[in-house]
A and B are shown apart, each in its own frame.
Chain A
Protein backbone atom coordinates (compact mmCIF):
# COMPACT_ATOMS: atom_id res chain seq x y z
CA UNK A 1 0.00 0.00 0.00
CA UNK A 2 1.59 3.24 -1.08
CA UNK A 3 0.70 6.53 0.54
CA UNK A 4 1.94 9.96 -0.45
CA UNK A 5 3.63 12.04 2.24
CA UNK A 6 0.42 14.10 2.59
CA UNK A 7 -1.77 11.02 2.93
CA UNK A 8 0.61 9.56 5.46
CA UNK A 9 0.52 12.84 7.42
CA UNK A 10 -3.27 12.60 7.48
CA UNK A 11 -3.03 9.01 8.74
CA UNK A 12 -0.59 10.16 11.44
CA UNK A 13 -2.99 12.89 12.55
CA UNK A 14 -5.66 10.22 13.03
CA UNK A 15 -3.17 8.18 15.04
CA UNK A 16 -2.62 11.28 17.22
CA UNK A 17 -6.37 11.09 17.90
CA UNK A 18 -5.76 7.45 18.96
CA UNK A 19 -7.64 5.98 16.01
CA UNK A 20 -6.71 2.26 16.00
CA UNK A 21 -7.69 1.80 12.36
CA UNK A 22 -5.35 4.58 11.33
CA UNK A 23 -2.62 2.90 13.37
CA UNK A 24 -3.18 -0.32 11.47
CA UNK A 25 -3.11 1.55 8.15
CA UNK A 26 0.12 3.23 9.20
CA UNK A 27 1.63 -0.14 10.09
CA UNK A 28 0.61 -1.68 6.78
CA UNK A 29 2.02 1.25 4.82
CA UNK A 30 5.33 1.64 6.64
CA UNK A 31 6.37 -1.55 8.45
CA UNK A 32 8.23 -3.14 5.52
CA UNK A 33 10.31 0.02 5.09
CA UNK A 34 11.18 0.19 8.80
CA UNK A 35 11.80 -3.56 9.08
CA UNK A 36 14.19 -3.34 6.11
CA UNK A 37 16.12 -0.54 7.83
CA UNK A 38 16.27 -2.39 11.15
CA UNK A 39 17.30 -5.78 9.72
CA UNK A 40 20.11 -4.18 7.73
CA UNK A 41 21.56 -2.81 10.97
CA UNK A 42 20.92 -5.51 13.59
CA UNK A 43 20.99 -8.49 11.13
CA UNK A 44 19.40 -10.92 13.62
CA UNK A 45 15.72 -11.33 12.73
CA UNK A 46 14.35 -12.02 16.19
CA UNK A 47 16.13 -8.92 17.52
CA UNK A 48 14.72 -6.98 14.58
CA UNK A 49 11.19 -8.28 15.33
CA UNK A 50 11.52 -7.02 18.87
CA UNK A 51 12.80 -3.61 17.80
CA UNK A 52 10.03 -3.17 15.23
CA UNK A 53 7.47 -3.84 17.96
CA UNK A 54 9.12 -1.29 20.24
CA UNK A 55 9.20 1.26 17.43
CA UNK A 56 5.45 1.04 16.76
CA UNK A 57 4.62 1.04 20.47
CA UNK A 58 6.68 4.23 20.71
CA UNK A 59 4.95 5.68 17.65
CA UNK A 60 1.52 5.04 19.18
CA UNK A 61 2.58 6.59 22.46
CA UNK A 62 4.60 9.55 21.13
CA UNK A 63 2.87 10.31 17.86
CA UNK A 64 2.06 13.77 19.25
CA UNK A 65 5.76 14.61 18.88
CA UNK A 66 5.50 14.35 15.10
CA UNK A 67 5.90 17.78 13.49
CA UNK A 68 4.99 17.87 9.82
CA UNK A 69 6.84 21.17 9.47
CA UNK A 70 10.11 19.50 10.42
CA UNK A 71 10.10 16.13 8.68
CA UNK A 72 8.02 13.92 6.44
CA UNK A 73 6.16 11.09 8.20
CA UNK A 74 8.41 8.40 6.74
CA UNK A 75 11.55 10.32 7.73
CA UNK A 76 10.20 10.68 11.27
CA UNK A 77 9.38 6.96 11.47
CA UNK A 78 12.65 5.86 9.85
CA UNK A 79 14.62 8.04 12.29
CA UNK A 80 12.94 6.36 15.26
CA UNK A 81 13.62 2.92 13.79
CA UNK A 82 17.25 3.68 12.92
CA UNK A 83 17.98 5.24 16.31
CA UNK A 84 16.60 2.24 18.12
CA UNK A 85 18.54 -0.19 15.88
CA UNK A 86 21.79 1.77 16.34
CA UNK A 87 21.24 1.84 20.12
CA UNK A 88 20.95 -1.94 19.98
CA UNK A 89 24.17 -2.58 18.06
CA UNK A 90 26.15 -0.07 20.18
CA UNK A 91 24.95 -1.83 23.32
CA UNK A 92 26.18 -5.21 22.13
CA UNK A 93 29.45 -6.66 23.33
CA UNK A 94 32.26 -6.00 20.86
CA UNK A 95 32.87 -9.70 20.20
CA UNK A 96 29.28 -10.18 19.09
CA UNK A 97 29.56 -7.22 16.76
CA UNK A 98 32.81 -8.63 15.42
CA UNK A 99 31.20 -12.00 14.74
CA UNK A 100 28.32 -10.49 12.84
CA UNK A 101 30.37 -7.99 10.90
CA UNK A 102 32.04 -10.82 9.03
CA UNK A 103 28.71 -11.76 7.53
CA UNK A 104 27.96 -8.25 6.32
CA UNK A 105 28.94 -7.52 2.79
CA UNK A 106 28.64 -3.88 1.98
CA UNK A 107 26.98 -3.07 -1.28
CA UNK A 108 28.15 -6.47 -2.40
CA UNK A 109 25.40 -8.94 -2.99
CA UNK A 110 22.51 -6.61 -3.27
CA UNK A 111 22.13 -3.47 -5.27
CA UNK A 112 24.58 -0.73 -4.44
CA UNK A 113 22.92 2.31 -2.85
CA UNK A 114 24.15 4.35 -5.79
CA UNK A 115 21.88 2.32 -8.06
CA UNK A 116 18.93 4.01 -6.47
CA UNK A 117 20.03 7.31 -7.94
CA UNK A 118 16.73 8.40 -9.38
CA UNK A 119 14.52 7.61 -6.40
CA UNK A 120 13.96 11.17 -5.35
CA UNK A 121 15.37 14.61 -5.82
CA UNK A 122 16.74 14.71 -2.28
CA UNK A 123 18.35 11.37 -2.78
CA UNK A 124 19.75 12.48 -6.11
CA UNK A 125 21.30 15.54 -4.52
CA UNK A 126 22.73 13.50 -1.67
CA UNK A 127 24.06 10.78 -3.96
CA UNK A 128 25.52 13.40 -6.28
CA UNK A 129 27.43 14.84 -3.36
CA UNK A 130 28.46 11.43 -2.02
CA UNK A 131 29.96 10.71 -5.43
CA UNK A 132 32.29 13.69 -5.03
CA UNK A 133 33.84 12.04 -1.95
CA UNK A 134 36.77 9.62 -2.13
CA UNK A 135 35.40 6.12 -2.43
CA UNK A 136 36.58 5.13 1.06
CA UNK A 137 34.92 8.11 2.74
CA UNK A 138 31.76 7.53 0.77
CA UNK A 139 31.60 3.83 1.60
CA UNK A 140 32.30 4.53 5.26
CA UNK A 141 29.34 6.91 5.43
CA UNK A 142 27.08 4.39 3.68
CA UNK A 143 28.27 1.50 5.86
CA UNK A 144 27.74 3.50 9.03
CA UNK A 145 24.33 4.85 8.06
CA UNK A 146 22.80 1.84 6.35
CA UNK A 147 24.53 -1.01 8.21
CA UNK A 148 25.18 0.60 11.58
CA UNK A 149 28.94 -0.06 11.61
CA UNK A 150 30.88 1.50 14.50
CA UNK A 151 34.21 3.32 14.20
CA UNK A 152 35.95 0.18 15.52
CA UNK A 153 34.25 -2.05 12.97
CA UNK A 154 35.13 0.37 10.19
CA UNK A 155 38.73 0.52 11.46
CA UNK A 156 38.97 -3.27 11.23
CA UNK A 157 37.40 -3.34 7.81
CA UNK A 158 39.72 -0.67 6.39
CA UNK A 159 42.74 -1.75 8.49
CA UNK A 160 43.24 1.77 9.80
CA UNK A 161 43.50 3.13 13.36
CA UNK A 162 40.24 4.33 14.88
CA UNK A 163 41.35 8.02 15.00
CA UNK A 164 42.00 7.89 11.24
CA UNK A 165 38.49 6.55 10.66
CA UNK A 166 37.09 9.30 12.87
CA UNK A 167 38.95 11.92 10.83
CA UNK A 168 37.67 10.40 7.57
CA UNK A 169 34.12 10.44 8.91
CA UNK A 170 34.36 14.10 9.94
CA UNK A 171 35.96 15.15 6.66
CA UNK A 172 33.46 13.18 4.64
CA UNK A 173 30.49 14.65 6.49
CA UNK A 174 31.88 18.21 6.30
CA UNK A 175 32.46 17.79 2.57
CA UNK A 176 28.95 16.43 2.19
CA UNK A 177 27.42 19.39 4.02
CA UNK A 178 29.39 21.87 1.92
CA UNK A 179 28.32 20.13 -1.29
CA UNK A 180 24.64 19.95 -0.27
CA UNK A 181 24.49 23.64 0.65
CA UNK A 182 26.19 24.81 -2.54
Chain B
Protein backbone atom coordinates (compact mmCIF):
# COMPACT_ATOMS: atom_id res chain seq x y z
CA UNK B 1 0.00 0.00 0.00
CA UNK B 2 1.47 3.29 -1.06
CA UNK B 3 2.10 5.66 1.82
CA UNK B 4 1.51 2.97 4.46
CA UNK B 5 4.78 1.43 5.64
CA UNK B 6 5.08 -1.42 8.14
CA UNK B 7 5.95 1.13 10.81
CA UNK B 8 2.90 3.18 9.98
CA UNK B 9 0.69 0.09 10.14
CA UNK B 10 2.19 -0.76 13.53
CA UNK B 11 1.70 2.77 14.86
CA UNK B 12 -1.87 2.91 13.54
CA UNK B 13 -2.78 -0.47 15.00
CA UNK B 14 -1.17 0.49 18.30
CA UNK B 15 -3.45 3.51 18.50
CA UNK B 16 -6.47 1.55 17.29
CA UNK B 17 -5.76 -0.90 20.11
CA UNK B 18 -5.70 -4.15 18.14
CA UNK B 19 -2.09 -5.20 18.88
CA UNK B 20 -1.82 -8.14 21.27
CA UNK B 21 -0.21 -7.70 24.66
CA UNK B 22 3.35 -8.52 23.55
CA UNK B 23 3.18 -6.40 20.38
CA UNK B 24 1.74 -3.56 22.40
CA UNK B 25 4.51 -3.71 24.97
CA UNK B 26 7.11 -3.78 22.18
CA UNK B 27 5.50 -0.76 20.50
CA UNK B 28 5.54 1.15 23.80
CA UNK B 29 9.22 0.41 24.31
CA UNK B 30 9.96 1.56 20.79
CA UNK B 31 8.09 4.83 21.29
CA UNK B 32 10.57 5.73 24.00
CA UNK B 33 13.64 5.16 21.82
CA UNK B 34 12.49 5.88 18.26
CA UNK B 35 11.31 9.44 17.77
CA UNK B 36 10.11 8.88 14.20
CA UNK B 37 7.91 6.00 15.37
CA UNK B 38 6.61 8.02 18.30
CA UNK B 39 5.69 10.81 15.87
CA UNK B 40 3.70 8.33 13.78
CA UNK B 41 1.86 7.20 16.92
CA UNK B 42 1.02 10.76 17.90
CA UNK B 43 -0.25 11.53 14.40
CA UNK B 44 -2.57 8.53 14.60
CA UNK B 45 -3.71 9.51 18.07
CA UNK B 46 -4.81 12.86 16.67
CA UNK B 47 -6.38 11.31 13.59
CA UNK B 48 -8.61 8.96 15.58
CA UNK B 49 -9.13 11.15 18.68
CA UNK B 50 -12.44 12.65 17.46
CA UNK B 51 -13.97 9.17 17.82
CA UNK B 52 -13.74 9.60 21.58
CA UNK B 53 -16.45 12.26 21.18
CA UNK B 54 -18.85 9.56 20.07
CA UNK B 55 -18.67 7.81 23.44
CA UNK B 56 -21.43 9.00 25.77
CA UNK B 57 -20.33 10.52 29.06
CA UNK B 58 -20.91 8.41 32.13
CA UNK B 59 -20.72 9.80 35.67
CA UNK B 60 -18.30 7.84 37.85
CA UNK B 61 -19.34 6.86 41.41
CA UNK B 62 -19.55 9.92 43.68
CA UNK B 63 -16.80 8.78 46.05
CA UNK B 64 -14.21 8.09 43.35
CA UNK B 65 -12.41 11.43 43.58
CA UNK B 66 -11.87 10.88 47.29
CA UNK B 67 -10.26 7.54 46.44
CA UNK B 68 -7.95 9.24 43.94
CA UNK B 69 -6.89 11.78 46.57
CA UNK B 70 -6.30 8.93 49.02
CA UNK B 71 -4.08 7.17 46.50
CA UNK B 72 -2.11 10.35 45.88
CA UNK B 73 -1.83 10.89 49.59
CA UNK B 74 -0.52 7.36 50.13
CA UNK B 75 2.18 7.84 47.52
CA UNK B 76 3.34 11.16 48.92
CA UNK B 77 6.74 11.04 47.24
CA UNK B 78 5.45 12.86 44.20
CA UNK B 79 3.38 15.46 46.00
CA UNK B 80 4.94 18.51 47.55
CA UNK B 81 4.47 18.90 51.32
CA UNK B 82 1.87 21.65 51.53
CA UNK B 83 -0.21 20.11 48.83
CA UNK B 84 -0.46 16.87 50.77
CA UNK B 85 -2.19 18.78 53.55
CA UNK B 86 -4.52 20.46 51.09
CA UNK B 87 -5.21 17.12 49.46
CA UNK B 88 -5.97 15.61 52.85
CA UNK B 89 -8.45 18.38 53.52
CA UNK B 90 -9.98 17.78 50.11
CA UNK B 91 -10.38 14.08 50.85
CA UNK B 92 -12.45 14.96 53.92
CA UNK B 93 -14.53 17.42 51.94
CA UNK B 94 -15.20 14.89 49.20
CA UNK B 95 -16.06 12.12 51.64
CA UNK B 96 -18.53 14.49 53.28
CA UNK B 97 -19.98 15.56 49.96
CA UNK B 98 -20.39 11.94 48.91
CA UNK B 99 -22.07 11.08 52.21
CA UNK B 100 -24.43 14.06 52.04
CA UNK B 101 -25.26 13.28 48.42
CA UNK B 102 -26.11 9.70 49.37
CA UNK B 103 -28.22 10.76 52.32
CA UNK B 104 -30.06 13.34 50.22
CA UNK B 105 -30.65 10.77 47.51
CA UNK B 106 -32.09 8.39 50.09
CA UNK B 107 -34.38 10.99 51.58
CA UNK B 108 -35.53 12.06 48.15
CA UNK B 109 -36.06 8.48 47.07
CA UNK B 110 -38.08 7.73 50.20
CA UNK B 111 -40.26 10.68 49.51
CA UNK B 112 -40.65 9.91 45.82
CA UNK B 113 -41.19 6.20 46.32
CA UNK B 114 -43.74 6.79 49.03
CA UNK B 115 -45.58 9.42 47.06
CA UNK B 116 -45.44 7.76 43.66
CA UNK B 117 -45.96 4.19 44.72
CA UNK B 118 -48.75 4.67 47.22
CA UNK B 119 -50.49 7.97 46.55
CA UNK B 120 -53.73 6.88 48.18
CA UNK B 121 -52.40 4.84 51.08
CA UNK B 122 -53.63 5.62 54.52
CA UNK B 123 -51.16 7.84 56.26
CA UNK B 124 -50.30 5.84 59.35
CA UNK B 125 -49.34 2.63 57.63
CA UNK B 126 -46.32 3.69 55.61
CA UNK B 127 -42.93 2.27 56.49
CA UNK B 128 -39.54 2.87 54.95
CA UNK B 129 -36.23 1.05 55.19
CA UNK B 130 -32.89 2.10 53.78
CA UNK B 131 -30.84 -1.01 53.01
CA UNK B 132 -27.15 -0.43 53.49
CA UNK B 133 -23.92 -2.31 53.21
CA UNK B 134 -22.40 -1.73 56.66
CA UNK B 135 -21.68 1.97 57.06
CA UNK B 136 -21.63 2.51 53.30
CA UNK B 137 -23.95 4.60 51.22
CA UNK B 138 -27.61 3.59 51.13
CA UNK B 139 -28.22 1.38 48.17
CA UNK B 140 -31.87 0.31 48.20
CA UNK B 141 -34.89 2.04 49.63
CA UNK B 142 -37.79 -0.20 50.59
CA UNK B 143 -41.15 1.40 51.19
CA UNK B 144 -44.08 -0.56 52.64
CA UNK B 145 -47.74 0.30 52.33
CA UNK B 146 -49.10 -1.97 55.02
CA UNK B 147 -52.77 -1.19 54.34
CA UNK B 148 -52.49 -2.50 50.80
CA UNK B 149 -49.70 -4.97 51.55
CA UNK B 150 -47.41 -3.60 48.89
CA UNK B 151 -43.66 -3.06 48.98
CA UNK B 152 -41.84 -0.67 46.66
CA UNK B 153 -38.13 -1.15 46.18
CA UNK B 154 -36.00 1.53 44.61
CA UNK B 155 -32.34 0.85 43.79
CA UNK B 156 -30.10 3.90 44.14
CA UNK B 157 -27.80 3.59 41.20
CA UNK B 158 -26.83 -0.01 41.80
CA UNK B 159 -27.29 -2.27 38.79
CA UNK B 160 -26.85 -5.99 39.34
CA UNK B 161 -23.79 -7.40 37.54
CA UNK B 162 -24.42 -9.04 34.20
CA UNK B 163 -26.47 -12.24 34.32
CA UNK B 164 -27.28 -11.67 37.99
CA UNK B 165 -30.32 -10.31 39.82
CA UNK B 166 -30.82 -8.66 43.17
CA UNK B 167 -33.49 -10.36 45.25
CA UNK B 168 -35.27 -8.93 48.28
CA UNK B 169 -35.85 -11.12 51.35
CA UNK B 170 -37.87 -10.69 54.51
CA UNK B 171 -36.31 -12.05 57.69
CA UNK B 172 -39.02 -12.22 60.33
CA UNK B 173 -38.47 -11.52 64.00
CA UNK B 174 -39.63 -15.12 64.58
CA UNK B 175 -36.30 -16.33 63.11
CA UNK B 176 -38.06 -18.39 60.46
CA UNK B 177 -36.11 -18.94 57.22
CA UNK B 178 -35.81 -15.84 55.01
CA UNK B 179 -38.83 -15.38 52.78
CA UNK B 180 -38.35 -14.18 49.21
CA UNK B 181 -40.29 -10.97 48.53
CA UNK B 182 -39.23 -10.83 44.90
CA UNK B 183 -36.60 -9.97 42.34
CA UNK B 184 -35.66 -6.30 42.11
CA UNK B 185 -35.77 -4.62 38.75
CA UNK B 186 -33.26 -1.94 37.79
CA UNK B 187 -35.98 0.67 38.30
CA UNK B 188 -38.44 1.05 41.16
CA UNK B 189 -40.28 -2.24 41.60
CA UNK B 190 -43.57 -2.79 43.40
CA UNK B 191 -43.94 -6.21 44.95
CA UNK B 192 -46.87 -7.80 46.82
CA UNK B 193 -45.91 -8.02 50.49
CA UNK B 194 -46.27 -11.70 51.32
CA UNK B 195 -50.05 -12.24 51.53
CA UNK B 196 -49.74 -15.15 53.97
CA UNK B 197 -47.64 -13.34 56.56
CA UNK B 198 -49.29 -11.30 59.31
CA UNK B 199 -48.89 -7.54 59.19
CA UNK B 200 -46.97 -7.24 62.43
CA UNK B 201 -44.33 -9.63 61.13
CA UNK B 202 -44.04 -7.76 57.83
CA UNK B 203 -43.61 -4.35 59.44
CA UNK B 204 -41.27 -5.64 62.16
CA UNK B 205 -39.05 -7.69 59.86
CA UNK B 206 -35.53 -7.08 58.66
CA UNK B 207 -35.17 -6.76 54.90
CA UNK B 208 -32.10 -7.92 53.01
CA UNK B 209 -30.90 -8.02 49.43
CA UNK B 210 -28.78 -10.84 48.01
CA UNK B 211 -27.14 -11.32 44.65
CA UNK B 212 -28.72 -14.27 42.84
CA UNK B 213 -28.52 -15.91 39.43
CA UNK B 214 -30.44 -14.01 36.76
CA UNK B 215 -34.16 -14.13 37.52
CA UNK B 216 -33.74 -14.90 41.20
CA UNK B 217 -32.81 -17.75 43.53
CA UNK B 218 -33.50 -21.11 41.84
CA UNK B 219 -34.48 -22.88 45.07
CA UNK B 220 -36.29 -20.22 47.09
CA UNK B 221 -33.35 -19.80 49.47
CA UNK B 222 -30.75 -17.04 49.47
CA UNK B 223 -27.64 -18.15 47.55
CA UNK B 224 -25.27 -16.13 49.71
CA UNK B 225 -24.94 -13.72 52.59
CA UNK B 226 -27.09 -10.58 52.44
CA UNK B 227 -25.32 -7.68 50.74
CA UNK B 228 -27.64 -4.94 51.95
CA UNK B 229 -29.69 -4.98 55.14
CA UNK B 230 -32.13 -2.66 56.86
CA UNK B 231 -35.23 -2.44 59.09
CA UNK B 232 -38.47 -0.62 58.41
CA UNK B 233 -39.37 2.58 60.21
CA UNK B 234 -42.86 3.96 60.44
CA UNK B 235 -42.71 7.27 58.59
CA UNK B 236 -46.31 8.32 59.04
CA UNK B 237 -45.83 9.70 62.54
Contact = CB atoms under 8 A, between A and B. Distances in A.
Give the contact-size bracket for chain A: 35 or more
A110 interface: yes
B145 to A, nearest CB: 33
A91 B59 CA distance: 26
B3 A37 contact: no
A175 B46 CA distance: 16
A36 B55 contact: yes
B55 A31 contact: no
Interface string B42-59: 100111111111111111
Interface string B39-81: 0001001111111111111111100110110011001001110
B58 A39 contact: yes
Interface in B15-59: 16-21, 24, 42, 45-59
A61 B1 CA distance: 41
Given A18-B83, A70-B42, A180-B47, A150 B18 contact: yes
A56 B68 contact: yes
B54 A123 contact: yes
Size bin of chain B's contact surface: 35 or more
Contacts of B46: 71, 75
A182 B9 CA distance: 19
B50 to A, nearest CB: 4
B72 A60 contact: yes
Residue among A20, A33, A39 with the highest chain B CB neighbour number at 10 A: A20
Contacts of A149: 18
Contact of A146 (B3, B51, B79): B51
A120 B79 contact: no
Nearest to B9: A170
A27 B54 contact: no
A60 B236 CA distance: 50
Contacts of B19: 90
Contacts, number: 153
A27 B50 CA distance: 20
A106 interface: no
A27 B68 contact: yes
A103 interface: yes
Nearest to B79: A18
B98 interface: no
A127 B53 CA distance: 11
A90 B25 CA distance: 10
Contacts of B64: 31, 49, 52-53
Given A31-B65, A37-B55, A174-B4, 18 more contacts: A32-B60, A33-B57, A36-B56, A36-B58, A40-B55, A41-B17, A53-B67, A60-B68, A75-B52, A116-B53, A141-B16, A145-B51, A146-B54, A148-B17, A169-B18, A170-B1, A177-B4, A177-B47
Cβ-closest 10 pairs across A and B: A123-B50, A113-B54, A32-B57, A174-B4, A36-B58, A86-B17, A35-B60, A122-B50, A78-B52, A173-B12
